[in-house]
Amino acid sequence: GAVVSQHPSRVICKSGTSVKIECRSLDFQATTMFWYRQFPKQSLMLMATSNEGSKATYEQGVEKDKFLINHASLTLSTLTVTSAHPEDSSFYICSARMAGSTDTQYFGPGTRLTVL
Protein backbone atom coordinates (compact mmCIF):
# COMPACT_ATOMS: atom_id res chain seq x y z
CA GLY A 1 0.00 0.00 0.00
CA ALA A 2 0.81 3.73 0.05
CA VAL A 3 1.92 4.02 -3.56
CA VAL A 4 2.52 7.39 -5.18
CA SER A 5 3.01 7.75 -8.92
CA GLN A 6 4.34 10.60 -11.02
CA HIS A 7 3.86 11.28 -14.69
CA PRO A 8 5.86 11.75 -16.78
CA SER A 9 9.04 10.17 -15.50
CA ARG A 10 11.13 12.17 -17.95
CA VAL A 11 10.35 15.22 -20.02
CA ILE A 12 12.42 17.33 -22.37
CA CYS A 13 11.06 20.66 -23.48
CA LYS A 14 12.15 23.80 -25.24
CA SER A 15 12.92 26.98 -23.37
CA GLY A 16 9.82 29.13 -22.94
CA THR A 17 7.31 26.31 -22.92
CA SER A 18 5.28 25.05 -19.95
CA VAL A 19 5.42 21.56 -18.52
CA LYS A 20 2.89 19.85 -16.27
CA ILE A 21 3.86 17.07 -13.86
CA GLU A 22 1.22 14.93 -12.19
CA CYS A 23 1.43 13.31 -8.78
CA ARG A 24 -1.13 10.70 -7.81
CA SER A 25 -1.73 8.69 -4.67
CA LEU A 26 -2.88 5.35 -6.04
CA ASP A 27 -4.28 3.53 -3.05
CA PHE A 28 -4.97 6.18 -0.46
CA GLN A 29 -6.39 9.65 -0.09
CA ALA A 30 -3.88 12.42 0.43
CA THR A 31 -5.06 15.63 2.00
CA THR A 32 -1.56 17.05 1.76
CA MET A 33 1.00 16.69 -1.01
CA PHE A 34 4.48 18.09 -1.19
CA TRP A 35 6.73 19.08 -4.08
CA TYR A 36 10.49 18.83 -3.83
CA ARG A 37 13.36 19.65 -6.11
CA GLN A 38 16.60 17.70 -6.11
CA PHE A 39 19.76 18.88 -7.82
CA PRO A 40 22.41 16.34 -8.82
CA LYS A 41 24.10 14.75 -5.83
CA GLN A 42 22.20 17.00 -3.44
CA SER A 43 19.41 16.66 -0.97
CA LEU A 44 15.73 17.32 -1.43
CA MET A 45 14.54 20.89 -1.10
CA LEU A 46 10.90 21.48 -0.33
CA MET A 47 9.30 23.81 -2.86
CA ALA A 48 5.71 23.90 -1.69
CA THR A 49 3.00 22.19 0.29
CA SER A 50 -0.42 21.73 -1.23
CA ASN A 51 -3.63 20.93 0.58
CA GLU A 52 -6.63 19.62 -1.27
CA GLY A 53 -9.00 22.40 -2.22
CA SER A 54 -6.82 25.29 -1.09
CA LYS A 55 -3.89 27.32 -2.31
CA ALA A 56 -0.41 25.93 -2.02
CA THR A 57 2.07 27.25 0.51
CA TYR A 58 5.40 28.04 -1.10
CA GLU A 59 8.79 27.99 0.56
CA GLN A 60 10.84 31.13 0.66
CA GLY A 61 12.55 31.80 -2.64
CA VAL A 62 10.20 29.68 -4.74
CA GLU A 63 8.31 31.70 -7.37
CA LYS A 64 4.64 30.83 -7.12
CA ASP A 65 3.90 32.27 -10.56
CA LYS A 66 6.54 30.08 -12.11
CA PHE A 67 5.72 26.86 -10.29
CA LEU A 68 1.95 26.55 -10.33
CA ILE A 69 0.55 23.91 -8.03
CA ASN A 70 -2.98 22.58 -8.12
CA HIS A 71 -4.40 19.99 -5.70
CA ALA A 72 -7.90 19.53 -7.04
CA SER A 73 -8.67 16.14 -5.58
CA LEU A 74 -7.62 13.88 -2.73
CA THR A 75 -5.53 11.78 -5.10
CA LEU A 76 -4.02 14.26 -7.56
CA SER A 77 -1.70 17.23 -7.38
CA THR A 78 -0.06 18.89 -10.38
CA LEU A 79 3.02 21.05 -10.73
CA THR A 80 3.25 23.24 -13.81
CA VAL A 81 6.58 24.81 -14.62
CA THR A 82 5.66 27.86 -16.67
CA SER A 83 7.95 29.44 -19.25
CA ALA A 84 10.64 26.93 -18.45
CA HIS A 85 14.31 27.85 -18.75
CA PRO A 86 17.45 25.70 -18.67
CA GLU A 87 18.02 26.57 -15.00
CA ASP A 88 14.70 24.88 -14.19
CA SER A 89 16.19 21.57 -15.32
CA SER A 90 16.14 19.32 -12.29
CA PHE A 91 14.62 16.27 -10.67
CA TYR A 92 11.18 16.98 -9.21
CA ILE A 93 9.75 14.68 -6.58
CA CYS A 94 6.32 14.72 -5.01
CA SER A 95 5.20 13.11 -1.79
CA ALA A 96 1.83 12.54 -0.21
CA ARG A 97 0.65 12.27 3.34
CA MET A 98 -2.23 9.94 3.98
CA ALA A 99 -5.47 11.51 5.18
CA GLY A 100 -5.73 11.01 8.92
CA SER A 101 -1.99 10.45 9.28
CA THR A 102 0.27 13.04 10.82
CA ASP A 103 3.72 11.81 10.11
CA THR A 104 4.88 9.69 7.22
CA GLN A 105 5.21 11.03 3.68
CA TYR A 106 5.23 8.59 0.77
CA PHE A 107 7.26 9.62 -2.21
CA GLY A 108 6.70 9.37 -5.93
CA PRO A 109 9.42 8.10 -8.27
CA GLY A 110 10.31 11.58 -9.48
CA THR A 111 10.30 13.41 -12.79
CA ARG A 112 13.44 14.47 -14.58
CA LEU A 113 12.91 17.75 -16.41
CA THR A 114 15.39 18.88 -19.03
CA VAL A 115 14.88 22.29 -20.60
CA LEU A 116 16.82 22.88 -23.79
Partner 1 sequence: AQTVTQSQPEMSVQEAETVTLSCTYDTSENNYYLFWYKQPPSRQMILVIRQEAYKQQNATENRFSVNFQKAAKSFSLKISDSQLGDTAMYFCAFRPYNTDKLIFGTGTRLQVFP
Give the dihedral sign, CA 77/82/84/87.
Answer: negative
Q: How many residues form the binding site for partner 1 (CB under 8 A)?
A: 20
Question: Which one of 58, 97, 98, 115 is in contact with partner 1 (CB under 8 A)?
Answer: 97
Binding mask 3-42 for partner 1 (x = CB under 8 A): -----------------------------x-x-------x
Tally of CB atoms within 10 A around 56: 21
Binding mask 55-94 for partner 1 (x = CB under 8 A): ------------------------------------x-x-
